[in-house]
Amino acid sequence: MRSFAIFSAAVAVLSSGASAAGVTGAAEGFAKGITGGGSASPVYPNTNAELVSYLGDNSARVIVLTKTFDFRGTEGTSTGSGCLPWGTGSQCQVAINKDNWCGNYQPDAPTTSITYDNAGSLGITVKSNKSLVGQGSAGKILGKGIRMVSGVKNIIIQNIEISNINPKYVWGGDAITIDGADQVWIDRCTTSLIGRQHIVLGNSASGRVSITNNKIDGVTSWSATCDGYHYWNMYFTGSNDLVTLKGNYIYHTSGRAPKVAGNTLLHAVNNYWYDNSDHAFEITSGGNVLAEGNVFQNIDRVLDTTPTGHLFTAPSAGANSACSASLGRVCQMNGFGSSGTFNQANTNFLSNFNGKNIASASAYGGVVASVGKTAGMGRI
């Protein structure tokens, strides 16, 4: 840890110059201590092929993005049948009939002919020991997401934007997929205009993940709620996942922000949810959620239905002392403005925090200002 701290400090000093490269700061929460590509000499991909190669090879790498990588149209298009389960209006998303999804699950929905971009369907493979870092506000990937799957480990994604992945089409692609990985840190990224999920942790165990200071931008022209608010945002359903969600700006969504299930311990702390047309949290069996020090502003329903998982919302000073035994401190209350209720005091899962790296929490009063300064790409 000591050498890593020195490395970060060196980068921080260099950052005041023009040509700094590398990761800023260090992961907090469950993924604390990870090094990504470590001190490998930075590489600067020029083409899509170079980016794919650096991310997918077996070398530890610091990969710095200084430009936009546009994958739209690079793998052709597919024309086929789709369906309209959410309505036929021009603001509604259309579902691709992937694996006969329409036939199996939406047999009564009207069908339509669709054309979508193939590049969005599957993200770029990211192997172990990588740092993927954007320079300033230059690092963008369009039309394709990234995937950390099948046992990869020790990956840092910082200060990039992922956007324009078949936004009209459900099953058109995800921005960030983590499935059967461990020690992943997603920091200061922006995702927008995505067909399916902004961040999805698949059903395999994904170990320790920290998702911090990101902007989930749900503004879209096509949504499953047909109102300009994106429905599929964060999906945490892994079989053995520890997820720290801290300092994120979760904006203009209408559902699954996040959905939590499987066997997931989610620590949602000091995030700012703003402007949601339906619900934020959906928690079903196996979802264990501690939500503290967050701000909910204009969130119709903070919680979809009474959770069948476990939820502690740090509801009162008295109740919050229950955190001390496992987190080593009291929990922080959440703040609400023009939002629905969020009041559950299930404490029987808090012992799952014992012995883990746990993110700090500050009072909700400073969250809007701090998230405004740090969340999303281009703030370093």
Ligand X SMILES: *[C@@H]1O[C@H](CO)[C@@H](O)[C@H](O)[C@H]1NC(C)=O
CA 270 to chain CA centroid, Å, is: 15
Determine the Cα angle at 46 with ends 48 and 52, to 5°: 35
Phi and psi at residue 216, to the nearest 5°: -95, 105
Q: What whole-number distance in Å separates Cα of residue 29 and Cα of residue 19?
A: 29
Overall size of the chain counted in residues: 380
**Residue 256 among the catalytic residues:** yes
CB of 154 or CB of 159, closer to ligand X: 154
Residues 92 to 111 in contact with ligand X, rule: CB under 6 A: none
Q: What whole-number distance in Å separates Cα of residue 278 and Cα of residue 256?
A: 9
Joined tokens for residue 211: 């998702």
Q: How far is the CB of 26 from ligand X (least distance, A)?
A: 17
* H or E segment to which residue 283 belongs: strand 272-283
CB of 60 or CB of 219, closer to ligand X: 60
CB of 57 or CB of 341, closer to ligand X: 57
CB of 60 or CB of 122, closer to ligand X: 60
Q: How far is the CB of 227 from ligand X (least distance, A)?
A: 44
DSSP string computed for 235-271: EE--SSEEEEEES-EEEEE-S-TTEE-SSEEEEEES-
Burial (CB < 10 A; 0-12, 13-18, 19+), residue 1, is: exposed
Interface mask (CB under 6 A) for ligand X, residues 172-211, using x and -? ----------------------------------------
CB of 58 or CB of 100, closer to ligand X: 58
Cβ atoms of residues 169 and 20 within 8 Å: no
Q: How far is the CB of 152 from ligand X (least distance, A)?
A: 7
Instruction: Give the sheet arrangement for strand 182-187, strand by strand.
Output: 42-43, 61-65, 130-134, 153-158, 182-187, 207-212, 241-246, 264-269, 287-292, 310-312
Number of residues interacting with ligand X: please give it, by CB under 6 A: 5
Give whole-number Cα distances, 100 to 81, 82, 104, 121, in Å. Answer: 10, 9, 6, 15
Residues 55 to 74 in contact with ligand X, rule: CB under 6 A: 58, 60
Q: How far is the CB of 52 from ligand X (least distance, A)?
A: 17
Q: How far is the CB of 58 from ligand X (least distance, A)?
A: 5
CB of 92 or CB of 133, closer to ligand X: 133
- Binding to ligand X by residue 128, rule CB under 6 A? yes
Q: How far is the CB of 345 from ligand X (least distance, A)?
A: 42
Q: What whole-number distance in Å separates Cα of residue 299 and Cα of residue 316?
A: 20
From 256, 301, 329, 379, the catalytic residue: 256
Q: How far is the CB of 50 from ligand X (least distance, A)?
A: 19
Q: How far is the CB of 115 from ligand X (least distance, A)?
A: 38
The backbone region for 33, taken as left when phi is positive above 0, alpha when psi lies in -120 to 50, beta otherwise, is left
Measured between alpha carbons, how far apart are the two ends of the chain, in Å?
A: 23
CB of 72 or CB of 153, closer to ligand X: 153
CB of 128 or CB of 163, closer to ligand X: 128
DSSP string computed for 122-174: SPEE--SSEEEEE-TT--EEES--EEEETT-EEEEEES-EEEEE-TTEETS--
Residues 278 to 307 in contact with ligand X, rule: CB under 6 A: none
Interface mask (CB under 6 A) for ligand X, residues 130-169, using x and -? ------------------------x---------------
Instruction: Give the sheet arrangement for strand 111-117, strand by strand.
Output: 111-117, 77-83, 94-96, 169-170
Residues that bind ligand X (CB under 6 A): 58, 60, 128-129, 154
**Catalytic residue IDs:** 256
